[in-house]
Amino acid sequence: MENIEKTVAEIVRQVIAGIEAGEKTSCDGCKSSCGASCASTSEVPVGVSNRHIHLCRADLETLFGKGYELTPFKDLSQPGQYACKETLTIVGPSLRPIENVRVLGPVRGASQVEISKTDSYTLKVKPPVRESGKIAGSSPITIIGPKGVVTLTEGCIIANRHIHMSLEDGARFGVKDNDYVTVDVEGTRRTRWYDVQVRVHKDFRLEMHVDTDDANAVGIGNGCKVKIVKE
């Protein structure tokens, strides 16, 4: 019995570690049960974004020490973006910490913490739904690292639903940078998302980003496909 319990505990640990590391799960055609179709090339693949942290240089050094450099361990879908080995703890007014929050690189001009609405209840913060980088007037949050603590007076947001596209994809879908579109989702709970921001850039790769709350609510995962609705 003890050996069985140890085996189960190890399996659970590996699954949780995989989720925190942002490992990809795929849709129907790629051995998953999300219920979405992968058949049409006109569809948009989904990337599910867990809570994470972007750091500026000054805050990186406060949290990890002078001269510290982030340690990349996994490239993300967008060129030049990567998950780091480093994780941190975040704390809000509830004083209930959320640990092992992944840092994403490279360093930015301003630090930012992206969480879900569910996380906000744990932390007792009220982050606005924002485009990444738009942190003016957003919620304060405290970040705890191995070498120090940073309290952001603003910088905690819930990222808006958005789609990254190359210039070619933008032309194919008939949209331009900062347009807003409607998206149909064929997950285990069919739904429609409105006011999805489109970001078009020559270096972007086609992918829609949603947070864990959105993905769980409709039963989709990384690699599932959604459809832009022509209204």
Residue pair 127/156 in contact by the 8 Å Cβ criterion: yes
> In this predicted structure, what is the pLDDT of residue 167?
97
> In this predicted structure, what is the pLDDT of residue 35?
43
Q: Which residues pair with 53 in a beta bridge?
A: 103, 113
CB 215: neighbour CB atoms within 10 A? 23
Lowest mean pLDDT among 16-20, 25-29, 140-144: 25-29
CB 191: neighbour CB atoms within 10 A? 15
Global confidence as pTM: 0.81
Enumerate the domain spans of the chain.
25-48+161-229, 50-159
- Judging by beta carbons within 10 Å of its beta carbon (0-12, 13-18, 19+), is residue 79 exposed, middle or buried? exposed
Per-residue pLDDT at 185 exceeds 70: yes
CATH architecture of 25-48+161-229: Beta Barrel (2.40)
In the predicted model, what is the mean pLDDT of the chain?
Answer: 87
Looking at per-residue pLDDT, the higher value among 17 and 212 belongs to: 212
Per-residue pLDDT at 19 exceeds 70: no
Residue pair 162/197 in contact by the 8 Å Cβ criterion: yes
Per-residue confidence band for 227, with pLDDT thresholds at 50, 70 and 90: very high
> In this predicted structure, what is the pLDDT of residue 42?
72
Q: Token digits for 10? A: 């190890």
Per-residue confidence band for 230, with pLDDT thresholds at 50, 70 and 90: confident
Residue of 154, 71, 148, 50 lying closest to 112 (CA atoms): 154
